[in-house]
């Protein structure tokens, strides 16, 4: 079983070949956005994505992201 973690994209490069910066629970990581970028990478800034092993696997809405983060935090309790 694989788990994806929601993160919000805070910075992108000029094209989808460059890594983007995502904020996951207050920690910033570099991720690959090639799988979710369908046009101008700048359009992804502020979007929530599901991150797995350094790749943005899908774009998700903010409510779904927050619910998933809350569920993951409860697992840690």
**pLDDT of the residue at 38:** 92
pLDDT exceeds cutoff 60 at 1: no
pLDDT in tens, 23-45: 999 999 999 999 999 999 999 99
C-alpha distance across the termini of the chain, in Å: 21
Q: Decide: 32 and 11 in contact? Cβ < 8 Å.
A: no
Separation CA 44–CA 76 (nearest Å)? 30
* Average pLDDT score over the chain: 93
The model's pLDDT over 50-68, given as tens digits with 9 standing for 90+, comes to: 999 999 999 999 999 999 9
Quick check: pTM over 0.85?
yes
% of the chain at pLDDT higher than 90: 79
């Amino acid at each position: 079983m694989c788990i994806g973690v929601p993160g919000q994209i805070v910075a992108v490069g000029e094209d989808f070949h460059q890594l983007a910066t995502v904020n996951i629970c207050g920690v910033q990581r570099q991720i690959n956005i090639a799988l979710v970028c369908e046009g101008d990478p700048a359009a992804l800034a502020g979007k929530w994505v599901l991150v797995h092993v350094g790749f943005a696997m899908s774009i998700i809405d903010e409510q779904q992201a927050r619910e998933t983060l809350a569920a993951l935090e409860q697992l840690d309790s």
